[in-house]
Amino acid sequence: MNNLLEINSLSFAYTKDKFLFEDLSFKLKKGEVKAIVGASGAGKSTIFELILGNLKQIKGSISTNAIISQVYQDPYSSFHPSYSLLNQIKDVASIDKLQNYLKTINLEYELLLKLPHELSGGQLQRASILRAMLMQPSLLLLDEPTSALDNVIQLEVMDMLMKNLHNMGMLLITHDLELASWCADEIIMI
């Protein structure tokens, strides 16, 4: 399979009488960015849960040929509260490229020695992106990855992600149509 991700005629509903989305289809290859855009409650984050196998679709298929890493919208829920960020990163990834990424995303090493609640939301979100990149995914799932960042840091982080597209494909959930238009090869409206 040439595609990192292939979704065919995907339909999902939490209740029998109302589909969240129906017949969603798209493919994602290495080097591509696809953005999923839609109103709150339209099912954008649900698509990620389906891709990760945490939910089961009503119909359709999801095929993946990728090492998947994800960045959640709420960084506080993606880290354990009682041990350091660096230890949590080391649990899942090699830290060989740590210094390169720290510089690129404007994050100080000392912050990684702290507990999650000791960082701001923006700092913790950058730590989450750092962890995801150090896992060396071929498919990166990003759920509103820059919503907690100021404009300058947002641009630096997105620039770093775009420069790594030769190694992976990205599926981005965002409410920011301007961001989606800037970085995505295709915008999928749901």
What is the DSSP secondary-structure string of 22-76?
EEEEEEE-TT-EEEEE--TTSSHHHHHHHHTTSS--SEEEEEE-S-EEEE-S-GG
Question: Average pLDDT, stretch 168-190?
Answer: 93
111, 131 contact by CB (below 8 A): no
Report the mean per-residue pLDDT for the chain: 93
Instruction: Mention every residue, 6+ apart, whose C-beta is less than 8 A from residue 90.
Output: none
d(CA 165, CA 139): 10
Q: What is the pLDDT of residue 1?
A: 54
Q: What is the pLDDT of residue 40?
A: 85
Question: What is the number of structural domains in the chain?
Answer: 1
Domain boundaries, position 133: 5-189
d(CA 149, CA 185): 23
d(CA 80, CA 24): 34
Question: Average pLDDT, stretch 160-173?
Answer: 94
Structure confidence at residue 115 as a pLDDT band (50, 70, 90): very high
Q: Is the pLDDT of residue 36 over 80?
A: yes
Question: Average pLDDT, stretch 126-130?
Answer: 95
What is the DSSP secondary-structure string of 18-33?
B-SEEEEEEEE-TT-E
pTM of the model: 0.92
Q: What is the per-residue pLDDT across 48-103, written as a single tens digit (0 to 9) for each?
A: 999 999 999 999 999 998 999 999 988 888 999 999 999 999 999 999 999 989 98
Q: What is the pLDDT of residue 146?
A: 87
Q: Is the pLDDT of residue 190 over 70?
A: yes
- The gap from C-alpha 94 to its chain's centroid, in whole angstroms, comes to 19
Question: Average pLDDT, stretch 123-137?
Answer: 95
167, 138 contact by CB (below 8 A): yes
HEC readout, 112-154: HHCCHHHCCHHHHHHHHHHHHHHCCCCEEEEECCCCCCCHHHH
Domain with residue 20: its CATH number is 3.40.50.300
